[in-house]
Amino acid sequence: MADRQQFRDLAPPEEAREVIDSLDLRPDDETVPLREARGRVLAERIDAGLDVPGFDRASVDGYAVQAANTFGADEADPARLELAGEVHAGAEPDDEVGDGECVEVSTGAVLPPGADAVVMVERTERVSRSDTERASGEPAADHGEAADGRAASDTSRERNDPRGGEEVLVRTSLAPGDRVMFAGADVAAGERALGPGTVLTPREIGLLSALGVEAVPVRGRPTVGIISTGDELVRPGESLKSTAGEIYDVNTYTTATAVEEAGGEARLYPHAGDDYDAMETVLREAAAECDLVLSSGSTSASAVDVIYRVVEETGELLLHGVAVKPGKPMLVGRLGVSGPRSGGPEDERRESSGGSAYVGLPGYPVSALTIFRTFVAPAVREAAGLPEPRTATVTGAMAVRERYSEGRLRYMPVGLVDPGPDESLPGEDTADGTGVGAGAGATVDTLVYPVDKGSGATTSLVEADGVVAVPPDVEQLDAGERVEVRLFSPDVRPPRLFGAGEDDPALSRLLDRVDRPRYLGVGSRQGLRRLRDGVTDVAVVTGEADADPDDAVEVGGWRREWGLVVPAGNPDGIEGVADLVDDELRFVNRTTDSGLRTTLGNAVAALADERDADRHDLVEAIDGFEFAVRAHESPARNVLAGEADAGLGLRSTAEAHGTGFVPCGTERVRAFAAEERREKPGVRRLERAIEEADDVLESLPGYERSEPLE
């Protein structure tokens, strides 16, 4: 077992990248309807197949004229033209514009034959011929007549008889081409419209619409098969047998969505188990159907063995083990579909008969996503013709010093936090108004902090925003040092409020009212430590003995009732902490970082005082004082499962789970903000949420607003 997992000749990361780049993942181009082409990448140049507009087009509502007929006309001395007809957008002109004539046109109408310009309606006036005759044959020359003409025009409109001997006064002089968009002026047939590699956004869809393009040649999306291995893995939604060590399969859906985000099409294969024949069948099927096949390292060593053998026997193993952390056990190869590898001409036959690239990702979720993001996503995007998203990386400054000296390239999972009162990150739209004079304000560096819960932790997935590549020769990153963070997704956005501390059901609900919070329920003690380190904005703490933290201000709080969660009906007749000491009861505590545990410790100390006993002896007498579980509900769940007779907990938890509850007291829960982040909008928002928390506190049994602070 030890031998199998040692990778003596680890490839350097650059070689891994080169090997992956050498894999051919590019699928055939395809044709899609224009309506479905958004986000796709043009496979070929598209030249305009027609003129836009396809005809000489009136640009305004008005009258089509022969420009020469208007030479010298102005407001005072208009040209007088006979109205010969009308043409609207989408209609074929019936009438020609002869010398001395005009035709009414609407915007977008075909310019009638004979016309070479359009006068906008605002510069004209319609008069009936009778008015004209009454006003003599001369062009109207003074203002008074023009006013008369206007009145007459209204009358003629009421008659609704545009051709009934009407004339139009044109009060401006036109040049040929005025207010006409000539055929092909926008796009001329034969012009280069869009080139290969163009990502189709709404504007390109618009141009292709104008050209009447119905179907678009686009780059194919690489098909990426995802194979789930490991007997212990269960798909979400199926039932889980925890006693048999089953866990939900995290990597399959994570990888599938990451593939889709990178522009590929994910295809999920049924759970293969760790059996050679079943695995081989699935791998061959996937190799035949996909451009790339991914699996993530099963924790079961035998599955790794099986994959290794199938790759070796049907295809070619190109790389086994890379000198990066995490990602060491990465496998890269090619999978065949038609049988063992044999070299020579048969090898070519195998090539032509299908097969796919293969990459084996590490098993831990953060490691798998890191390796996917760093090595595989670029290859999928390249195959799809897509550029790296602009939001794929962010630069920031290290919030704390980080030492590292393993002599191996490391992808360090990190979180981001914006320290300033101006919470906008580069490129984030804040201005609702206008766009002039933008970017004048000082930019506050985003802070970058390492997230290291152990790569096995699923929660690292959402506590980290991305990874920083730390070169092998870097032993230490100083606080303030600038680093580039590759985000786990271009859609990842750092939190607007970052807090850590006590796990509390009221807080859970209040955080729903804050935009993009990140809260780590690490307990009061850890919460205060992180606040001191300058990483978090806020710590939420309980445990009455704690002094107020330095350089922090309280932004609000509440009280909660604590006690012992016991089975329904309290079968052991427990009355308080003293019974834990005196009776044979299996107890379940919270972890040492929990403020609630501090509160319990204080109660035990008070009991010791009362009995004039040693606190330590009382603790020793409690069976399970050291049996500590993490979250506020966990002891209740232990009691419900019959694993304990009493657990440390809250009235609200007990009532929510229908267990019994022995009240022991109330404790304050208080939120502290780092002084320098006091004005950060996320902190302000939390403060307001606490101020307005009445509904939440009323909905939770045993909760109440804190008495005002003295």
Q: In angstroms, what is the minimal distance from the CB of 76 to its own copies? A: 20
- Rounded to whole angstroms, how far apart are CA atoms 279 and 673? 53
Tell me the two tokens of residue 58: 């009136």
Instruction: Provide, rounded to whole angstroms, the least separation between the CB of residue 60 and its own copies.
Output: 10
678: alpha, beta or left? (left if phi > 0; alpha if psi -120 to 50): alpha
The answer to whether the beta carbons of residues 668 and 559 sit under 8 Å apart is yes
The two beta strands, 265-269 and 223-227, are parallel
Nearest-angstrom CA–CA distance, 457 and 478: 26
Closest contact distance (angstroms) between CB of 96 and its own copies is 14
HEC readout, 22-66 = HCCCCCCCEEEEHHHCCCCEECCCEECCCCECCCCEECCCEEEEC
Q: Of 343 and 471, which CB lies nearer to its own copies in the complex structure?
A: 471
Quote the least distance from Cβ 435 to its own copies, whole Å. 3
**What is the smallest separation between the CB atom of 37 and its own copies, expressed in angstroms?**
8
Dist CA 103 CA 64 (whole Å):
5
Contact 690, 511 (CB under 8 A): no
**What are the residues facing 46 on neighbouring strands?**
194
CA distance 160 to 438: 54
Q: Which two tokens stand for residue 576?
A: 């308080």
For its own copies, the closer CB: 384 or 507? 507
Alpha helices, DSSP H only, in 51-169?
129-134, 143-159
Instruction: Classify each residue of 689-707 as buried b or exposed e, where b means 16 or more C-beta atoms within 10 Å of its C-beta.
Output: bbeebeebbeebebbeebe
CB of 602 to its own copies, least distance (A): 23
Instruction: Name the minimum Å distance from CB 230 to its own copies.
Output: 7
The half-sphere exposure of 618 on its side-chain side, counting CA atoms within 13 A, is 21
Q: Whose Cβ is closer to its own copies: residue 31's or residue 353's?
A: 31
Least spacing, CB of residue 59 vs its own copies, in Å: 6
State the pairing for strand pair 466-470/402-403.
unpaired
- For residues 424 and 706, which CB has a smaller minimum distance to its own copies in the complex? 424
Minimum gap (Å) between residue 202 Cβ and its own copies: 4
On whether the CB atoms of residues 555 and 537 are closer than 8 A, the answer is: no
Q: Measured from the CB atom, is 205 or 613 closer to its own copies? A: 205
Strand, helix or coil at 485?
A: strand
Q: Which is nearer to its own copies, 61 or 537 (CB)?
A: 61
Which residue's CB is nearer to its own copies, number 274 or number 579? 274
CB of 239 to its own copies, least distance (A): 9
Min CB(4)–its own copies separation in Å? 10
Six-digit token pair at 64? 């089509």
340: which DSSP letter?
Answer: -
Distance in Å, CB of 307 to its own copies, minimum: 16
* Shortest distance in whole angstroms from residue 213 CB to its own copies: 6
- Please say which residue, 179 or 350, places its beta carbon nearer to its own copies: 179
Q: Which is nearer to its own copies, 137 or 403 (CB)?
A: 403
Q: How far is the CB of 301 from its own copies (least distance, A)?
A: 6
3-state SS, residue 628: strand
- Cα 641 from Cα 602, distance rounded (Å): 28
Tell me how far apart the terminal alpha carbons of the chain are, to the nearest angstrom: 64
- The answer to whether the bond into 326 is cis (omega within 30° of 0) is yes
Query: In whole angstroms, what separates CA 610 from the centre of its chain?
Result: 57
**Whose Cβ is closer to its own copies: residue 426's or residue 571's?**
426
* Alpha-carbon gap, residue 399 to 679, rounded angstroms: 19
Residue with Cβ nearer its own copies (469 or 578): 469
User: Which one-letter amino acid corresponds to residue 662?
Assistant: V
- Residue number with CB closer to its own copies (279 or 337): 279
Distance CA 451, CA 333 (A): 31
Q: H/E element holding 670? A: strand 660-674
Q: Which is nearer to its own copies, 260 or 316 (CB)?
A: 260
Burial string for 635-666 (b: 16+ CB within 10 Å, else e) reads: bbbbbbeeebbbbbbbbbbbbebebbbbebbb
Q: Which is nearer to its own copies, 110 or 335 (CB)?
A: 110
